[in-house]
Amino acid sequence: MSTDVSTLDLEEAGAVLAAESARFASFGWMRGTSGNLSVVLSRDPLRLAVTASGHDKGELTPADVVLVDERGDAVSGGRPSAEAALHARVAALTGAGAVVHVHTVASVALGRRSPGGIVLSDLEMLKGVGVPAHGVEVTLPVIANSQDMTVLGDRLEAARDVRMPAVVVAGHGLYVWGDSPRQARHHTEVVEWLLELELTGTGR
Ligand SMILES: [Zn+2]
């Protein structure tokens, strides 16, 4: 994955994340104050802009953003979600430039139905995450939930399929990543589409 790092400052990053959040909230993927988005602002040392905790994700302003370090601890800004630590772990592990975390019905339903992972193949839409549409089987990993972000990060690292820029957290939601907020958005929409198809029971 690209090692390019965003040239955005924190407020510009906040504006990008607010727009992305509003889009996902409009889809019903960030209900209540759930979910969070991040963009990498610096690679060494690792610094991410993460949406601030406790806000309605359809109503974020450019100021509703926190700068966090490689452990997900605030460097400046307000209070980050505890989940910021997993965003930082994903960025460090995968080289991603942006991470999306949403609480979708399809991810929770499929995580419950397929706790060993969700097998996908022979779907044109797989091209949207860089997987061939035919003849290749990939597994979208499902990991058990935890309130301990180190435990959750260890599970994500162990279960990750390098061909899939996403992991389902059972009983919780979905983490998806990409080189940029735009690519992370496209990956999120494609993965959610694949999950929704599986949910219909006609995917394979
Ligand atoms: Zn969550």
CATH number (domain holding residue 55): 3.40.225.10
The range of the structural domain enclosing residue 109 comes to: 10-199
pLDDT of residue 22: 97
**What's the pLDDT at 2?**
41
- Domain total in the chain: 1
The reply to whether 107 falls in a domain is: yes
- pTM, two decimals, is 0.94
Residue 4 lies in a domain: no
* Domain assignment of residue 30, yes or no: yes
What's the pLDDT score for residue 5? 60
The string over 135-156, giving b where at least 16 C-beta atoms fall within 10 Å of a residue's C-beta and e elsewhere, is: eeebbbbbbeeeeebeebbebb
For residue 147, how far is its CA from the centre of ligand 1 (angstroms)? Answer: 10
| Binding residue positions for Zn(2+) | 101, 103
The strand pair at 118-121 and 98-102 is best described as unpaired
Distance 144 CA to ligand 1 centre (A): 13
Residue 192 lies in a domain: yes
Domain annotation covers residue 71: yes
Examine residue 93 and state whether it is found in any structural domain, yes or no.
yes
- Domain-located, residue 94: yes
Say what the pLDDT of residue 53 is.
92
Q: How many whole angstroms from 174 Cα to the centroid of ligand 1?
A: 8
Annotate 71-110 with b (16+ C-beta within 10 A) or e (fewer): ebeeeebeebbebbbbbbbbbbebebbbbbbbbbebbbeb
Consecutive sets of 10 residues in the chain, 204 residues long: mean pLDDT of each?
64 96 97 96 96 94 96 88 96 98 97 96 94 91 96 97 96 98 98 95 66
